Amino acid sequence: MADSFDVIVIGAGPGGYVCAIRAAQLGMKVACVEKRATLGGTCLNVGCIPSKALLQSSEHFEEANHKLAEHGVNVGQVSLDLARMQARKAEVVGANVKGVEFLFKKNKVTWLKGSGRVVAAGQVDVDGTTYATKHIVIATGSESTPLPGVTVDEKRIVTSTGALELEKVPGHLVVIGGGVIGLELGSVWRRLGAQVTVVEFLDRIVPGMDNEIGKAFERTLAKQGIKFKLKTKVTGASVTDAGVTLTTEPVGGGAAETLAADVVLLAIGRRPHVEGLGLAEAGVALDERGRVKTDGHFATNIPGIWAIGDVIVGPMLAHKAEDEGVALAEQIAGQKPHINYDAIPGVVYTWPEVANIGKTEEELKAQGVAYKVGKFPFTANGRARAMASMDGFVKILADKETDRVLGAHILGPDAGTLIAEIAVAMEFGASAEDVARTCHAHPTLNEAVKEAALAVDGRALHI
């Protein structure tokens, strides 16, 4: 038996590395197993961070081409240096992953480089070396969900990983799946000059989002040039040197059609990454969707083995995994942390952004909860008008009797930042009136949140 630890975390993504750092802060001897050459998991290496770098760069390109002249800024002929854009993305990723490595050293977390496998409770194998530990944390994240008949080669048919590495702008990019990943990366390549078509099985994009916001979001993206084929299923893909031919059918029945593309992005969702971890051999139970079963406090059915993040139930979000990592480390240390899963925001980083937290109208109706709605458009917000970014609105849902904020949904500029105010409000059990009576600086985008809170009571001031 090699060295022993108090905690061994398998996976160095946002959930895993944060759990390791917090456990070390609490005085435990900690190791984190990671097979990548760099720390940070999917999020920092091939997910959240590189995609946001390309989203930011492509938005600057879009502004220079189509928006700056409106502000009296004339830049002349604009050209794209995709190689430099990709190089900058790599620099951003490099800085972030090196930052995590620095944090490991600072907090004395041991990085066990290699593939981790659970031998049994208290034992983890890393490429043939077995380590003893009191606690094992499964934090191996998720991977792209495959689609029968559509074989990924990361060249012509790509997942999000390949879509971040394209060496030229495709003439026609077809995105299979109208969720967050597909829409974000579709936006990147649309801004850079690609024709983009999104094929979605359901009758709407971003399922699970508040329906009113989702419909407005679809209209906004359509205005930007993204085309949608809803209620359509992909049944096959044929790849040639020239591109990809997709075979599609209407979900409700009808004649098959073909769709020609230069590149196809498969983005129908993600699934827990648990293969090769030895969980079955160790007796760790999985649910019907391949997620690790836990008791609501991250404990599996095997004492001493825990799981957090994308491998367990709940939204596959980096910040959800981080909060779970902190909570689990504190729980192991004897504390009594708590996560409010009703106050975890979600963001789509297109432009305008979309952000949501708490319940949707559809969920409240299904649950029989009496509620009030307050809405305020960015067309009536002075800062949004000054920015020339007036698409969208803020929508706040509050309990009809108590006025407690139950959810909020924002389509608009910097929605991902604006939603944090509602997250704090919900965490402290605030009412819509509490938000409305809080002084907001003028002129700011946040005033739209205040006005939506006022609108819950029918007294918005600026519309």
Torsion of CA 44, 50, 418, 67, to 10 degrees: 170
Residue 442 bears catalytic tag: yes
393 pLDDT band, cuts 50/70/90, is very high
Q: Name residue 417's amino acid.
A: T
With H, G, I as helix, E, B as strand and everything else as coil, classify residue 71: helix
**What's the pLDDT at 241?**
87
| Digit-coded pLDDT (tens) for 37-91 | 999 999 999 999 999 999 999 999 999 999 999 999 999 999 999 999 999 999 9
**Sign of the torsion angle spanned by Cα atoms 419, 91, 274, 14:** negative
Backbone angles phi, psi at 247, to 5 degrees: -105, 130
DSSP 353-367: EEEEEE--HHHHHHH
Q: How far is CA 164 from CA 93, 141, 186, 236, 239, in A?
A: 12, 19, 11, 23, 20
Q: How far apart are CA 418 and CA 413, in angstroms?
A: 9
| Digit-coded pLDDT (tens) for 161-197 | 999 999 999 999 999 999 999 999 999 999 999 999 9
**What's the pLDDT at 84?**
98
Name the CA radius of gyration of the chain, rounded. Answer: 23
| Digit-coded pLDDT (tens) for 350-372 | 999 999 999 999 999 999 999 99
With H, G, I as helix, E, B as strand and everything else as coil, classify residue 442: coil
Q: What count of Cα atoms within 13 Å lies in the side-chain half-sphere of residue 210?
A: 27
Q: How far apart are CA 128 and CA 163, in angstroms?
A: 34
**What's the pLDDT at 1?**
61
Do 404 and 428 meet the contact criterion of CB atoms below 8 Å apart? no
Residue 351 token pair: 């432009």
User: How much of the chain exceeds pLDDT 70, in percent?
Assistant: 100
List, as own/partner pairs, every contact residues 296-300 make where C-beta atoms lie below 8 angstroms and the sequence separation is at least 24, other chains included: 297/331, 298/324, 298/327, 298/328, 298/331, 300/138
Residue 390 token pair: 């007036």
| Digit-coded pLDDT (tens) for 95-114 | 999 999 999 999 999 999 99
Residue 61 CB neighbour total at 10 angstroms = 19
Q: How far is CA 397 from CA 341, 375, 389, 421, in A?
A: 17, 9, 24, 14
Q: Looking at 227-353, list the stretches that DSSP marks H as alpha helix, in order from N- to C-terminal side.
A: 279-282, 318-332
User: How much of the chain exceeds pLDDT 90, in percent?
Assistant: 99
Residues 6+ apart with CB under 8 A from 20: 7, 9, 12, 30, 31, 32, 104, 107, 109, 325, 329
DSSP bridge partners of 132: 4, 123
**What's the pLDDT at 260?**
97
**What's the pLDDT at 2?**
74
pLDDT for residue 409 is more than 90: yes
**What's the pLDDT at 279?**
98
Phi-psi sector, 298: left (phi>0), alpha (psi -120 to 50), beta: left
Do 322 and 15 meet the contact criterion of CB atoms below 8 Å apart? yes
Backbone angles phi, psi at 73, to 5 degrees: -105, 110
Quote the pTM value. 0.97
Do 244 and 263 meet the contact criterion of CB atoms below 8 Å apart? yes
The catalytic position among 66, 71, 297, 442 is 442
**Across the chain, what does the average pLDDT equal?**
97
Q: How far apart are CA 76 and CA 57, in angstroms?
A: 18
DSSP state, residue 371: E
Helix (H) or strand (E) holding 223: helix 211-223
